[in-house]
Amino acid sequence: MVGRAAMIAAALVVVACGDDDDGSMGGVDAGRADASTPSDASTPFDAGEDELDAHVDDDDASTVADASSDDASIDDDASTGDAGTSDAGADASVPTDDAGLTESARAILALRASNGTLASPQYLDTVQITYVLPPFGDDPGGVFVQHELLGPAVFLAIDPTTLGETPVRGAYASFSATETAVVDGQHRVTAIVPGSFQSGDTPVPGFLAEPQDITAIDVPAELDDLESELTRNRVSVVSDYVDCGLDHWCADITTAGVPTASPTTYRFRTVQSVIEAYGLQRRCYQEIDLTPLWRFDAQAQTSAWSPDDFADIACPLVRVIGAVALDATTIAVVFDAPLDPATVTAADFTVTGATVSSVAVSGYVATLTTSAMARASMHTVSVTGVQDVLGIDITASASADLVVPPASNRPNGAGQVVITEIMLNPSGGTETGREWIELSNPSTTEPRVLTGCVLRDAAGMHTLGALTIPANGRVTLASSADPGFTESYVYSGITLGNTGDSVVVECDGVEIDRVDYDGDFQSRDGYSLSLDPDLRTAFHDDLTTSWCTSVATYAAMDHGTPGAANEECR
């Protein structure tokens, strides 16, 4: 691994020599599972030497390149290992030896050394907007600003839509700060002089062309220096994703600088839409490019809030994770990654005892039209030749077994009914009085008859009376006749655990669907657990990343969409 000083030296070479990239912005250079280490990503700015040197801070005669050089004299000693606190007053972890820094860099350091209302407004001039962040979950939206290649940087935690002028990523900005805060160790500007924010209209050449690469650095050890700074990082995901805040997911990572996973100090943090876009739950190798380093107390979090935040991804081969016969002529094949429809044809699928005439692809699911299969018969579907949206091939032995529903339309195989929403801890009523479970029927042509099937959790069970789910429909099973909406069925004998439990549907001894939830799921009092509608399969509802908390309101203090389409998880 290398330290901050070595990175500074390398950065000075970049600043002095300029950047020869082609100027393209964002996007993913998709690697195959056997791909070599990804090359450097293309960058959004062409920072030639002449252009860069032309930008001189008004309050300091040195250029940006010279300021970065001077920074090298202080950054080796800047990291103190202090994760930062929320205590009022100066934060000792912020470097105070700002000799050689430009006026705007000194202003950022001053803001990071404060915590509360400032005695007088602190003006920041010609700082560069490195990232514009919309609000996600409990995190505020805001703008990350930075003045020099190697920092310092600070997060302006004010919704970008309320700043007056629209912030443009890569452009220079100015504003006068009036209030700061340290939230979970992260230094933030929380208020500015109204109307003081000004942003350029277009990106300008600068260090955004080649952000500091932190792959080989011990990032947790240098978090106090690196916080909020624009970075590039090549990471390998080595764990499953777990809930780490509303609408956010985290996974353990390793890098060249941190070769051993350290869940308490270093993680990759992202949102549902990013995981779903590329199938990242497969534990991929990822190059995250041009994103600021987030922190949560002493934990460094390399982050991605958009699919465009990746320069390269290399994932394991695509797998079939299940198949379900929706009726006698329709099979849904479920994959662990979103497929590229251009690579999928009917000839890629074989079904024992039947022929495939057509296929339609939607994300993770390929729906096959087949010749008629006998009711209650067993079949195996095999897949070859398809690729996911990253261009990654499917495994050589991709197959799954399935059973065709009987003529009675009683479920007899996994996935013929899907658990799509769970209210495990309602805010109103007694603990057992307002709990409910939603079941969905993925078949668009046939109902599902659940009469005599069993609903159970880890401690109790209930045999269902007369109950049918219409084709492509939903039913709600509630623990009382007053759940805050008109339920389809009232059950008894089951009390859902608030921190962990199982919800299981069985018919004639066959497990049709099962969800085991625990503390890794994003559950909150009064908010239902909601399965992403794009992942409405009995195979994806086993994954924590397929679920989120519903925000729609159905009762005075409760949130969910009982009996209606679920909201998309962001």
> What DSSP line would sit under 168-206, residue for residue?
-TTSEEEEEEEEEEEETTEEEEEEE-TT--EE-SS--SS
Give the least confident one: 41-45, 95-99, 169-173, 472-476: 41-45
Tokens of 9: 């030296």
- Band (pLDDT 50/70/90 cuts) for residue 206 is low
pLDDT at position 15: 34
- Nearest-angstrom CA–CA distance, 464 and 112: 60
For residues 517-524, give the mean pLDDT.
82
Going by pLDDT thresholds of 50, 70 and 90, the confidence category of residue 177 is very high
Domain 212-314 has CATH 2.40.50.140: yes
pLDDT at 11: 39
Q: Distance (Å, rounded) from C-alpha 32 to C-alpha 393?
A: 8
Higher-pLDDT residue of 370, 17 = 370
CB contact set of 61 (below 8 Å; sequence gap of 6+):
none
Write the CA distances from 213 to 3, 152, 153, 219, 235, integer angstroms.
12, 15, 16, 11, 12
Query: What is the reported pLDDT for 525?
Result: 87
Q: State the DSSP code for 13.
A: H
d(CA 279, CA 314): 11
Average pLDDT over residues 401-425: 96
**Residue from 112, 110, 94, 149 nearest 127 by CA:** 149
Segment 246-273 mean pLDDT: 95
Terminal-residue alpha carbon distance, the chain:
35
pLDDT at residue 519, as a whole number: 78
Q: Which CATH class is domain 103-199?
A: mainly beta
| pLDDT band at residue 210 using 50, 70 and 90 as cut-offs | confident
Average pLDDT value for residue range 550-556 = 89
The secondary structure of residue 163, as a DSSP letter, is S
CATH class of the region 320-404: mainly beta
At residue 249 the predicted structure's pLDDT band, cuts being 50, 70 and 90, is very high
The confidence score (pLDDT) of residue 219 equals 98
Query: For 284-293, what is the mean pLDDT?
Result: 96
Per-residue pLDDT averaged across 262-289, rounded? 94
pTM of the model: 0.77
The alpha carbon of residue 161 and the mean position of all alpha carbons in its chain are separated, in whole angstroms, by: 22
Architecture of domain 418-559 in CATH?
A: Sandwich (2.60)
Between 521 and 547, residue with greater pLDDT = 547
Amino acid at 237: V
Tell me the average pLDDT across 8-16: 38
Residue-level pLDDT at 118:
98
For the chain, which residues make up each domain, given as ranges? 103-199, 212-314, 320-404, 418-559
What pLDDT does 429 receive? 53
CA distances from 422 to 357, 428, 456, 569 (A): 37, 15, 13, 15
Q: At what angle do helices 64-75 and 4-17 cross, to 10 degrees?
A: 170
Report how far residue 291's alpha carbon sits from residue 289's, in angstroms, rounded to the nearest whole number. 6
**Interatomic CA distance for residues 529 and 514, integer angstroms:** 14
Whether the per-residue pLDDT at 61 is higher than 60: the answer is: no
Residues 6+ apart with CB under 8 A from 511: 414, 504, 505
244 against 77, higher pLDDT: 244
The CA-atom distances, in angstroms, between 79 and each of 82, 92, 94, 114, 471 are 8, 10, 8, 18, 61
**Domains 103-199 and 418-559 in one fold:** no
